[in-house]
């Protein structure tokens, strides 16, 4: 097991993933220390076995929220606790096994080499990926590109990422949204606005079948309405910030 990092930790928000979360946590622990799990009001009985794992593992911490508050809220809870403990960066990954634990060291190394940047996973889809999900995310990606003047967000929705804690916590404390499915795209757009540079690294994503223990909480109508409202308010923010974004683009492109 590698030595514990004092700056970077793996943060796994978890809501009703079933027992597959135990495999996800073990895989993350095999790659990194420490790993924290935020159980976001799960009702599937996974909090107890996760706490049992943590009882025998000093590199694992489990935070249990009494009610489901959404992915963004769970990540914010974890980041605030991490900042209070002296950490500066978190790598977020899903609890259901879709994200590649084996790439944790590479992403952490990229963040440690450029701590002011955010390290964004750019998904490489397998043949099992639902065409509707793969095609639909292109719309959100196009909006994110426009809202940031093409700063280089490879994928706005893929949640395998390393965030610098301080600017993201500051942003979230000043905005009441980005607490549920809208967290991932809004976080990267607002971080770009704050001057945090994105670095993209390819990473595979697995869409697990129900037989493999796959669980999806994506609701097509509800979550697309949420994303539409999110991009509406982000576009308004983009228009208000356009002069500043143009100046930044000119400065970056100057010889």
- Helix axes 183-193 and 220-253, enclosed angle (nearest 10): 20
**CA–CA separation, 20 vs 18, rounded Å?**
5
Which two structure tokens, joined as six digits, stand for 66? 């009494």
- Residue 241 is assigned to a structural domain of this protein: yes
- Residue 255 is assigned to a structural domain of this protein: no
Residue 81 structural domain: 8-250
The total number of structural domains in the chain stands at 1
**CA–CA separation, 146 vs 148, rounded Å?**
5
Indicate yes or no: pTM above 0.85.
yes
User: Hey, how many other C-beta atoms are within 10 angstroms of the C-beta on 59?
Assistant: 18
The per-residue pLDDT string of the chain (255 residues; one tens digit each, 9 = 90 and over) reads 578 999 999 999 999 999 999 999 999 999 999 999 999 999 999 999 999 999 999 999 999 999 999 999 999 999 999 999 999 999 999 999 999 999 999 999 999 999 999 999 999 988 777 776 677 788 889 999 999 999 999 999 999 999 999 999 999 999 988 888 789 999 999 999 999 999 999 999 887 655 555 555 555 566 668 788 889 999 999 999 999 888 887 877 766
- Residue 3 is assigned to a structural domain of this protein: no
CATH (domain of 87): 3.90.550.10
């Amino acid at each position: 097991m590698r030595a514990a990092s004092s700056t970077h930790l793996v943060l796994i928000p978890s809501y009703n993933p079933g027992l597959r979360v135990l495999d996800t946590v073990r895989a993350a622990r095999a790659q990194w220390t420490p790993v924290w799990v935020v159980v976001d009001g799960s009702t599937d009985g996974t909090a107890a076995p996760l706490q049992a794992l943590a009882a025998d593992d000093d590199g694992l911490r489990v935070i249990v929220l009494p009610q489901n508050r959404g992915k963004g809220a769970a990540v914010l809870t974890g980041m605030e606790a991490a900042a209070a403990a002296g950490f500066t960066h978190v790598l977020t990954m899903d609890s259901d096994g879709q994200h590649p634990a084996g790439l944790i060291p590479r992403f952490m190394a990229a963040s440690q080499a450029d701590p002011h940047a955010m390290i964004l996973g750019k998904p490489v889809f397998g043949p099992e990926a639902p065409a509707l999900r793969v095609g639909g995310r292109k719309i959100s990606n196009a909006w994110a590109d426009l809202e940031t003047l093409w700063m280089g967000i490879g994928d706005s929705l893929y949640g395998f990422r390393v965030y610098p804690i301080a600017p993201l916590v500051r942003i979230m404390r000043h905005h009441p949204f980005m607490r549920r499915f809208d967290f991932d795209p809004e976080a990267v757009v607002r971080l770009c606005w704050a001057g945090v540079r994105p670095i993209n690294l390819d990473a595979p994503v697995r869409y697990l079948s129900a037989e493999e223990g796959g669980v999806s909480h994506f609701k097509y109508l509800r979550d697309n309405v949420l994303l539409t409202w999110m991009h509406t308010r982000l576009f308004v923010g983009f228009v208000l910030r356009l002069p500043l974004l143009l100046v930044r683009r000119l400065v970056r492109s100057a010889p």
